[in-house]
Chain A
Amino acid sequence: MVTITHYLVLSAILFTIGVVGVLVRRNAIIIFMCIELMLNAVNLSFVAFAHYLNSMDGQMIVFFTMTVAAAEAAVGLAIIVSVFRNKETVNIDDINIMKW
């Protein structure tokens, strides 16, 4: 019998993996992918709540979250491409012009 707690704990595990990935990795593209993983973990908890609380609101929120995630991924990757064109690297330790 799978209760809502199983889904929420799984969502927490995926979210934590995404958070640790953002903090540990130095490649900008991998960091973006860990952000997508965090978004997916939250989407999973929304759909779990929508199912177990007899609601459709969770699924609508997930619909719009996926839209925003698609737009954000496209714009973020365009920024990475233009940074790479100028500095020849995507290592975030090298993109430090804005330091003091």
Chain B
Amino acid sequence: MEAYIFYIAATVSVIAGIYLVLERNPIYSVLYLILTLVGVAVLYILLEAQFIAAVQIIVYAGAIMILYLFIVMLLNLNIRGGVKDVLSFQRMPSIFMGIFLFFSICTVIKSKLMQGEKGEYSAAYIESVGNTKLIGKLLFTDYLLPFEIASILLFVAAIGVIMVAKRKQ
């Protein structure tokens, strides 16, 4: 049962990713990326990371992709003409390089470097405490400094976006 869900979600994600790269219309590309993100969220639920899956749907597919969609619609790109491509000979070597990169990563995966020692948060323990509660507890004890730095980062990013995108008056 778990294998069926994994293969369906994986196939949906990969095919949507391929269509994302090949599609001419930018709005369709945004929709294919939303489909990929939803497929990855299903895989997160399979991996018993329910909070991360919910955050992926709400923040990534819900907020960031809506931002992309707004920008694509605001820019109103003219996609009917041909796209100017100065380096059109780059296409085939980059596909070969992508295949080579994939086989390099698979070589590393097959080697014995991928074994780590098991931590102490087993699936049964996480289920007894609750995934979200455990993430909340860790955020305020072990990961307090990254949490505060992330808040400063978001603050700086919000100010930066306003300053960059403001019209000069």
Contacts and interface: CB of A to CB of B under 8 A. Distances in A.
B84 A94 contact: yes
B50 to A, nearest CB: 10
A10 B39 CA distance: 12
A19 to B, nearest CB: 5
A33 B33 CA distance: 7
Contacts of A78: 160-161, 164-165
Contacts of A44: 40, 43-44
Given A36-B64, A60-B138, A54 B72 contact: no
A68 B134 CA distance: 22
B147 to A, nearest CB: 8
Interface string A54-90: 1111011011101111111111011111101100001
Contact of B85 (A26, A37, A73): A26
A74 B157 contact: yes
Interface string B90-132: 1100110111011001100110001011111111001000000
B55 A66 contact: yes
B36 A40 contact: yes
Interface in A17-52: 17-21, 23-27, 29-30, 32-34, 36-37, 40, 43-44, 47-51
Nearest to B2: A2
A12 B123 CA distance: 25
B81 to A, nearest CB: 11
Contacts of A33: 20, 29-30, 33, 68
B8 interface: no
B119 A47 contact: no
Nearest to A32: B68
A65 to B, nearest CB: 10
B116 A40 contact: no
Given A24-B90, A43-B40, A55-B119, A67 B150 contact: yes
B149 to A, nearest CB: 9
Nearest to A85: B167
Interface of A: 1-2, 4-10, 12-21, 23-27, 29-30, 32-34, 36-37, 40, 43-44, 47-51, 53-57, 59-60, 62-64, 66-75, 77-82, 84-85, 90-91, 93-94
19 contacts: A4-B114, A6-B10, A13-B102, A16-B102, A19-B98, A21-B21, A29-B72, A33-B20, A37-B17, A37-B36, A51-B48, A53-B117, A64-B143, A66-B59, A71-B153, A75-B161, A78-B165, A85-B167, A91-B83
